[in-house]
Amino acid sequence: MKQQGAHPEDTEGTPDASSRQDSDTARPDADAARTDAAQQDVAHIDEVEGDEPLLPARVHRPSDLMRLVGGVLAVVVLLAIAAFAHGTTSGLEQDINKGTGQAPDLLIKIAGLASSIAILLVPVAFAIERLIKRDGLRIADGVLAAVLAHGVTLATDLWVARAAPGSIQDALTQPSPGDIHALTDPVHGYLAPVIAYMTAVGMSRRPRWRAVLWLVLLLDAFSMLVTGYTTPFSIILTVLIGWTVAYGTLYAVGSPNVRPTGRTLMAGLRTVGFRPVTASREEAPDAAESGDRGRRYFVTLEDGPPLDVTVVDREQQAQGFFYRAWRNLALRGFATRRSLQSLRQALEQEALLAYAAIAAGANAPKLIATSELGPDAVMLVYEHTGGHTLDSLADDEITDDLLRGTWHQVKALQSRRIAHRRLVGDAILVDRSGTVILTDLRGGEIAAGDLLLRMDVSQLLVTLGLRVGAERAVASALSVLGPDAVADCLPMLQPIALSRSTRATLRKLARERAEREREAVLEASRHSRPARAHDADADAPVTLDKAGKKAVRAEQRAEKRAIDEALDEAREEDLLSQIRHEVLRIRPQAPIEPARLERVRPRTLISFIAGAIGAYFLLTQLTHIEFGPLIANAEWGWVAAAVLFSAASYVAAAMALLGFVPERVPFPRTVAAQVAGSFVKIVAPAAVGGVALNTRFLQRAGVRPGLAVASVGASQLFGLGCHILMLLAFGYLTGTEKTPSLSPSRTVIGGLLTVAVLVLVVTSVPFLRKFVVTRVRSLFAGVVPRMLDVLQRPQKLITGIGGMLLLTACFVMCLDASIRAFGDDSTSVSIASVAVVFLAGNALGSAAPTPGGVGAVEATLTVGLIAVGLPKEVAAPAVLLFRLLTLWLPVLPGWLAFNHLTRKAAL
pLDDT tens, residue by residue, 633-659: 778 888 899 999 999 999 999 998 888
Q: What is the pLDDT of residue 664?
A: 83
Q: What is the pLDDT of residue 390?
A: 92
Residue 327 has pLDDT above 50, yes or no: yes
Sign of CA dihedral 744, 828, 866, 857: negative
Q: Among 526-540, 752-766, 835-849, which stretch is predicted with the lowest mean pLDDT?
A: 526-540
Q: How far is CA 722 from the centre of its chain?
A: 33
Please tell me the distance from the alpha carbon of residue 188 to that of residue 204, in angstroms, as a whole number: 21
Q: How far is CA 695 from CA 547, 691, 712, in A?
A: 34, 6, 6
Q: Which helix (H) or strand (E) holds 721?
A: helix 705-736
Q: Among 257-261, 685-689, 815-819, which stretch is predicted with the lowest mean pLDDT?
A: 685-689
DSSP assignment of 501-568, as one string? Answer: HHHHHHHHHHHHHHHHHHHHHHHHHHHHHHHHHHHHHHTTTSPP-HHHHHHHHHHHHHHHHHHHHHHH
pLDDT in tens, 565-618: 776 777 788 899 999 999 988 888 877 777 777 666 665 665 566 556 555 555
Please tell me the distance from the alpha carbon of residue 91 to that of residue 108, in angstroms, as a whole number: 23
Identity of residue 257: N
Whole-number mean pLDDT of the chain?
75
Please tell me the distance from the alpha carbon of residue 895 to that of residue 892, in angstroms, as a whole number: 5
Q: What is the pLDDT of residue 481?
A: 93
Please tell me the distance from the alpha carbon of residue 294 to that of residue 2, in angstroms, as a whole number: 22
**Cβ neighbour number for residue 756 with a 10 Å cutoff:** 10
Q: What is the pLDDT of residue 648?
A: 93
Please tell me the distance from the alpha carbon of residue 64 to that of residue 61, in angstroms, as a whole number: 5
Q: What is the pLDDT of residue 520?
A: 76
User: Once rounded to an integer, what is the mean pLDDT over residues 618-641?
Assistant: 68
Residue 895: strand, helix, or coil: helix
Q: How confident is the model at residue 56 (pLDDT cuts 50, 70, 90)?
A: low
DSSP assignment of 212-263, as one string? Answer: HHHHHHHHHHHHHHHHTS--HHHHHHHHHHHHHHHHHHHHHH-EEP----HH
pLDDT in tens, 455-464: 999 999 999 9
Residue 429: strand, helix, or coil: strand
Q: Of how many residues is the chain composed?
A: 907
Please tell me the distance from the alpha carbon of residue 871 to that of residue 442, in angstroms, as a whole number: 63
Please tell me the distance from the alpha carbon of residue 107 to that of residue 25, in angstroms, as a whole number: 78
Q: How confident is the model at residue 65 (pLDDT cuts 50, 70, 90)?
A: confident
Q: How confident is the model at residue 290 (pLDDT cuts 50, 70, 90)?
A: very low
DSSP conformational letter for 598:
B
Please tell me the distance from the alpha carbon of residue 626 to that of residue 661, in angstroms, as a whole number: 49
Q: Contact at 8 Å (CB) between 504 and 492?
A: no
User: Once rounded to an integer, what is the mean pLDDT over residues 381-398?
Assistant: 90
Please tell me the distance from the alpha carbon of residue 197 to that of residue 717, in angstroms, as a whole number: 55
Q: What is the pLDDT of residue 631?
A: 66
DSSP assignment of 267-297, as one string? Answer: HHHHHTT--EEEEEEEPPS-HHHHGGG-EEE
Rg (CA), the chain: 36
Identity of residue 569: E
Please tell me the distance from the alpha carbon of residue 787 to that of residue 718, in angstroms, as a whole number: 9
Terminal-residue alpha carbon distance, the chain: 59
Q: What is the pLDDT of residue 381?
A: 94
DSSP assignment of 324-366, as one string? Answer: HHHHHHHBSS-SSS-SS--HHHHHHHHHHHHHHHHHTT---PP
Q: Is 0.85 surpassed by the pTM of this model?
A: no
Please tell me the distance from the alpha carbon of residue 278 to that of residue 45, in angstroms, as a whole number: 7
Residue 27 has pLDDT above 50, yes or no: no
Please tell me the distance from the alpha carbon of residue 492 to that of residue 340, in angstroms, as a whole number: 27
Residue 445: beta bridge partners?
Answer: 419
